[in-house]
Structure 1
Amino acid sequence: MSCSNHIETIEGIEKSNFVWFEENWIHDNALHTHRKAQLIYVEQGFQYLTVAGKMYLLPQNHVAWVPSNALHKTNSHSESIKLMILFFDIEQDDPFFENVQIFAAPKVLREMIRYAEKWSKLTEENENEKIFLRALLNELPAFGARLLHLEITLPNENRLQTVLSHLHDHYTHPIKMEEIALLSNLSLRTIERLFKKETGMTLVKYQQLLRIIKSLELLSIGELTISQIAYKVGYQSIQAFTNSFYTVMGYRPSAFIQR
């Protein structure tokens, strides 16, 4: 089923809350909205989520909260992706539900989402499902007390596109500012000023985030050791990689694998 058909089918469901699970759900790269808010859970693989000019990484065993009517798109480079999406009408007056939220799903939340799979694609009202999903929704702000900031602001400034392309193509190598200045035809000072203004971070911080995002992709595939991944994404030692990973994620790479 294509993404547009998925959207039409989902938008046609009248229930206030419902579950949609589909193995290896392949999205196209089209921006779209849902009138309901949604909780996206990645049980296997990794997913990219773009909302309001920001690109988020949603790693394995993490969830994303997407507010209602938010213009968004999703895509993944994983060979296999296992998603569960829960849709909600929102009545709670809580700021948590008004913004995109990314966080590691604690074990109890993962089990609740997996349990809800039995109601997947059920279009008629079910009282047990309704009670269960509202209970899950009520606890989400508590489950999401430790949020991740795995987002990259996509700059509107056209002059930075060459800079971004270079960083994405060479994130494993040390940043060479002179080379970037030559490619973009901008001065070093202009590059640093525009980049910080548009993305909210320095080039070094941006590169660090790119490396961690790539490492998360490799960790989710599970074919390489942590040491191999560290060197593959550009770190000169496993300690440097582990420290950087912990700074961004709040836990160590080994904890990600154990999930």
Structure 2
Amino acid sequence: MPQHGNYLDDIDVEPLSVYVMHEKAERKFPMHSHHKGQLTFVEGGIAYCNFPDRSLVIPARHYIWIPSQMEHYMVIRHSRSTTTRNLYFYSQDDDSHPFYNKMGIYPVNDLLLNMITYSAKWKEHVLPGDAGFRFLASLKDILPDVSTAAIPIGLPTTRHERLLPVLQYLAAHFDQNLTLESVSSHFGISERTLSRLFTNILEMSFVQYLKMLRVVKGIEMMLQTNQNLSEIAYQTGYGSIAAFSKVFYQLTNKRPSVFLQGIH
């Protein structure tokens, strides 16, 4: 797929380099891919990474690893607090570990945070033999060791003509008491048909999708508002913080309170 924009054209010019770009500006690019593996760290605020089949939310103090050749585009919401740090790594050794060939979102520990921050010393291509290359190569080398638990906080997407309006409806009414019965009735289709649409197209049940949607919306509220967890639980359709916390833990393996501490 042809590349677009200024720095996107330049990333793959030097196949053996690490391309470094740190920015606060919001950029809008179409779906694209690189020959290099991409690490995008969200220092503050919130960002989204969209793929042909799903959309992922990247919270503050987390990074996403996007393997080479994987189509995607990033969306950064308007926020003074949102800064992304982007490192594009040579891919000729990616088969040395399964990590490099699998997309994932990971929390950043203090060691990795310091290394990513330190990489701001360089800009654009850093080639073998250049000052900083060995440091950046070491950063890539430690990723499989420090990134063992990917956080599955993303929503599948579709352009299916029958299911897309349903997903749009859920996104607009996620705080309400939604059930398979009520939603199927709203769209004038049977519960069995709606259930099959979710299972066959999104490969998850209606209930699983709704849980994921509410957790994603909860994370957005944690990052973009000053609401406490009780308020967020209520506004994501749960009657108590305990119910919200239970679902949040099921999907992220963290309690919301612990997750909130990690992003501030």
Is TM-score (shorter-chain normalized) higher than 0.5? yes
What aligned pairs does 1:59-138 form with structure 2 within 5 A after superposition?
59-80=59-80, 81-90=82-91, 91-93=93-95, 94-121=97-124, 127-138=130-141
The equivalent of 1:233 in structure 2 is: 236
Aligned AA (2:153): L
What is the percentage of aligned positions where both structures have the same residue? 29
The equivalent of 2:11 in structure 1 is: 10
The equivalent of 2:207 in structure 1 is: 204
Contact 2:64 2:105 in 1 (8 A): yes
Contact 1:55 1:154 in 2 (8 A): yes
- 2: CA distance between counterparts of 1:176 and 1:51? 28
- Give secondary structure in 1 for the equivalent of 2:74: strand
- Give secondary structure in 2 for the equivalent of 1:127: coil
Decide which of 140, 164, 168 is 1:165's aligned counterpart.
Answer: 168
Aligned residues: 256
* Corresponding position: 1:21 with 2:22: yes
Q: CA offsets per residue over residues 183-213 of structure 1, 9 Å max, x none?
A: 4342110110111121121112111111111
What aligned pairs does 1:166-205 form with structure 2 within 5 A after superposition?
166-205=169-208
How far does residue 170 in structure 1 lie from its aligned partner after superposition?
A: 0.8
- Give secondary structure in 1 for the equivalent of 2:11: helix
User: Taking structure 2 as the reference length, what is the TM-score of the superposition?
Assistant: 0.88
- Give secondary structure in 2 for the equivalent of 1:33: coil
Contact 1:49 1:57 in 2 (8 A): yes
Say if 1:123 and 1:129 are closer, same or farther in 2 by CA, change over 3 A.
closer
User: Taking structure 1 as the reference length, what is the TM-score of the superposition?
Assistant: 0.90
- 1: CA distance between counterparts of 2:200 and 2:132? 46
Q: CA offsets per residue over residues 209-248 of structure 1, 9 Å max, x none?
A: 1111111112123522222222222221111122222221
- Give secondary structure in 2 for the equivalent of 1:68: coil
Say if 1:13 and 1:221 are closer, same or farther in 2 by CA, change over 3 A.
farther
Contact 1:66 1:100 in 2 (8 A): yes
Say if 1:50 and 1:131 are closer, same or farther in 2 by CA, change over 3 A.
same
Give the gaps of 5 or more residues in structure 1.
none
Contact 1:159 1:184 in 2 (8 A): no
Contact 1:45 1:78 in 2 (8 A): no
- 2: CA distance between counterparts of 1:155 and 1:124? 40
- 1: CA distance between counterparts of 2:225 and 2:38? 28
- 1: CA distance between counterparts of 2:53 and 2:94? 26
How far does residue 77 in structure 1 lie from its aligned partner after superposition?
A: 2.8
- 1: CA distance between counterparts of 2:15 and 2:103? 24
How far does residue 12 in structure 1 lie from its aligned partner after superposition?
A: 4.1
How far does residue 120 in structure 1 lie from its aligned partner after superposition?
A: 3.0
How far does residue 88 in structure 1 lie from its aligned partner after superposition?
A: 0.5
Contact 1:56 1:151 in 2 (8 A): yes
CA RMSD of aligned residues (A): 2.1
Q: CA offsets per residue over residues 58-117 of structure 1, 9 Å max, x none?
A: 111111111112111111335232100111012132222112111111221111111111
- 2: CA distance between counterparts of 1:124 and 1:163? 49
* Corresponding position: 1:147 with 2:157: no
What aligned pairs does 1:207-222 form with structure 2 within 5 A after superposition?
207-222=210-225
Contact 1:13 1:123 in 2 (8 A): no
The equivalent of 2:42 in structure 1 is: 42
How far does residue 182 in structure 1 lie from its aligned partner after superposition?
A: 3.8
- Give secondary structure in 1 for the equivalent of 2:189: coil
Aligned AA (1:255): V
Say if 1:254 and 1:176 are closer, same or farther in 2 by CA, change over 3 A.
closer
Give the gaps of 5 or more residues in structure 2.
none
Contact 1:30 1:73 in 2 (8 A): yes
